[in-house]
Structure 1
Amino acid sequence: MTRPIVVGVDGSGRSLRALIWAAHEAASRGRALHIVHVLAPAHEHAGTPEGHAWEVGQRDKGVVAEATAIAEEAHPGLEVTSGLPSGAPPAVLLSESQHAHTLVLGAKGMGGFGSLLLGSVARQVVGHAACPVVVVNHLTTGHHRIVVGTDGSPHSQAALAYAFQQAALRGVSLRAVHAWTRPGPHGLTTGRALDEAVRGHREALEEWLAPLAQQHPEVQVEKSLLEEDPMLALARASDRADLLVVGSRGRGGFHGLALGSVSHQLLQFSQCPLAVVRPHPARRSG
């Protein structure tokens, strides 16, 4: 069975942006779009007046109906399904990710239980999802460029593979950014040592890109080696991209952290949709 593009909606403006991005992605990939609106668990409604509970139920159904109509109108012929699962939003969305090709979220919702807030919910989902997660803060088009951050870690290699696939699918160029800072407490590397460090980083970047460039010869690749804080470098680069792709965790940080500091900060500061990718064991095709 072909895995759908799954999008979480809550009726907010930012979840609408996520819906627009997800519908376009599904149509481009020839996949179904599955719209999810998370409901509060049944016990949350205990003691709620019947009339109020009915109004809430109608509003929830209206959110899904409106989202479905928008997707179908924008992409006639697109297969659109929907669901109103109940539970804690992170748990529900992580469960959805088990059967999704890509999970798409808005960067911030309206507030309240059902919203997909840029905070603990987004961190838990992005850090543990079983598929790539795209967080849509700003919708951008016209740059014809995808930017990917790379540092040679398994997570960034997974991000590179995803970015090359996206660039090939969209027929756009790919800018691979490897940002680094000088070693030592004060960054004192100079002269010959600095030249050697730059050469080493450049050779490493070439090595990381070579296999995927051979697999996707149609993708024009720009190699960008920057001596700069990785988060700042990628945030700046996102201003001229239609999609920024990163691994959920890089070489820095502790192995127990599900979401690295760079990825976490970019959830807020990326100027274009942000795809966060984790390496996973082989899954069933689709």
Structure 2
Amino acid sequence: MTDPIVVGVDGSGRSLRALVWAAHEATLRHCPLRIIHVLPPAHSYATTEEGRVQEARNWDQGVVAEAIAIVQEAHPSLEVTSDLPSGNPAAVLLAEAEHAHTVVLGAKGTGGFGSLLLGSVALQVVGHASSPVVIVNHITTGHDRIVVGADGSAHSRAALSYAFDQASLRGAEVQAVHAWSHPEPHAYVSAAQDAMAKEHLQALEEWLAPLREEHPGVEVVEQVPDESPVIALARASDRADLLVVGSRGLGGFHGLALGSVGHHLLQFSQCPLAVIRPRT
């Protein structure tokens, strides 16, 4: 069976935007969509009055029913499954990621996934999921551009591969950004700086070469800006339908779950952000 696109919903507007993005992704990939709404641990219901317990259960079931109805109206032929597991949201989603093509979450929510975007739950999902994770704040379309950060690391190579796959799927171009910083950022442009820029461009071209061969129909734009990766990628995201980064780059400590660039872009990306880890 084809691995599903898994989306977490909590009834908030932004989780519904994640749902819309996930449903479109599942349709493009011809794979199932799996909708997950994590319930509070069972013991929390036990401390609530019986009437309020039923009200809470009805609300939770309504969140999923609404999500299914939205998807079925937009994509009537899409295979949709759902589940309402109880427990720790991060643990539930990480378990789902083991059998998912992609996990999709909203940037903010009412009290579930998105509201914890910069807290422990979402950071655990983004940093430790075995599948790609896409964080959706605003859905952007019409740019026909996938922006991807590159630095030569194993995580970056996985991000590049994912970006080319997305570009092929969507008929979009790839904008590959290899940002670097001159050791003397306030110095005037010199022959040495120009030589460094050419070296970085050559490195980027080498990283892209096998993917260009694998995806000959994908147009590629190369950029080697002399500035912070966070600034360069955040700026580029304003004109993209998807921003792709590796979960950790060359500058991270060994074993770091999520690198500083990816962490900052969770806040500053102006389009959906895909965080990629190499498959083991």
**TM-score band, normalised by shorter chain:** over 0.9
1:284 maps to what in 2? none
The alpha-carbon deviation at position 114 of structure 1 amounts to 6.3
Superposition pairs of residues 82-231 of structure 1, within 5 angstroms: 82-111=82-111, 117-119=116-118, 120-183=120-183, 191-231=190-230
Structure 1 position 46 matched with structure 2 position 37: no
Deviates most, 165-174 or 249-258: 249-258
Cα distance, 1:52–1:264 mapped onto 2, change above 3 Å:
same
Q: Percent of pairs identical after alignment?
A: 67
1:133 touches 1:277 (CA, 8 Å); kept in 2?
Answer: yes
Q: Is the 8 A contact 2:107 2:114 kept in 1?
A: no
Give the secondary structure class of the aligned counterpart of 1:15: helix
Q: Say if 1:239 and 1:272, in contact at 8 Å, map to a contact too.
A: yes
The aligned amino acid for 1:219 is V
TM-score, normalised by the number of residues in structure 2: 0.96
2: CA distance between counterparts of 1:114 and 1:66? 17
Q: AA paired with 1:159?
A: A
What is the CA–CA distance in structure 2 between the aligned matches of 1:140 and 1:132, rounded to whole Å?
19
> How many Å apart are 1:123 and its aligned residue?
0.9
Measured in 1, the distance between the counterparts of 2:113 and 2:158 equals 31
* Structure 2 CA distance for aligned equivalents of residues 115 and 141 of structure 1: 22
Q: Provide TM-score, normalisation by structure 1.
A: 0.94
Structure 2 counterpart of 1:272, which letter? C
CA contact (8 A) 1:231 1:262 kept: yes
Which letter maps to 2:133? V
Q: Distance in 1 between matches of 2:213 and 2:124?
A: 35
Shift of 1:225: 1.1
Distance 1:222 1:27 in 2: 27
Counterparts of 2:104 and 2:74 in 1: how far apart (Å)?
17
Tell me if the contact between 2:113 and 2:122 (Cα under 8 Å) persists in the aligned partners: no
Counterpart Cα distance in 2 of 1:195 and 1:151: 19
C-alpha deviation, 1:191, in angstroms: 2.9
Q: Offset of 1:188 from its aligned partner? A: 5.7
Q: Deviation digits for residues 175-225 of structure 1, max 9, x if unmatched?
A: 1011110136x6769634323311210110000000000000000000111
Aligned equivalent of 1:255: 254
2:56 aligns with 56
Question: Does the CA-based 8 Å contact 1:176-1:224 persist in structure 2?
Answer: yes
- For residues 39 and 176 of structure 2, what CA distance do their matches in structure 1 show? 40
Confirm or deny: 8 A CA contact 2:179 2:227 kept in the other structure: yes
Q: What is the identity, as a one-letter code, of the residue corresponding to 1:241? A: A
Aligned to 1:79: 79
The reply on whether 1:279 has 2:278 as its aligned counterpart is yes
Q: Structure 1, unaligned stretches of length 5 or more?
A: 282-286
1:122 CA displacement: 1.5
How far apart are the structure 2 equivalents of 1:107 and 1:62? 21
Deviation at 1:76, TM superposition (A): 1.1
Q: d(CA) in 2 for partners of 1:161 and 1:255?
A: 22
Question: Residues 178 and 224 of structure 1 are in contact (CA less than 8 Å); yes or no, is this contact kept in structure 2?
Answer: yes
What is aligned with 1:239?
238
What is the match of residue 266 of structure 1?
265
Cα RMSD after superposing both structures: 1.4
Q: Tell me which amino acid in the other structure corresponds to 1:206.
A: E
Structure 1 residues 10 and 234: alpha-carbon distance in aligned structure 2, compared to 1, 3 A threshold: same
Counterparts of 1:141 and 1:246, CA distance in 2: 19
Count of residue pairs brought into register by the alignment = 279
- Separation of aligned partners in 2, 1:189 and 1:38: 55
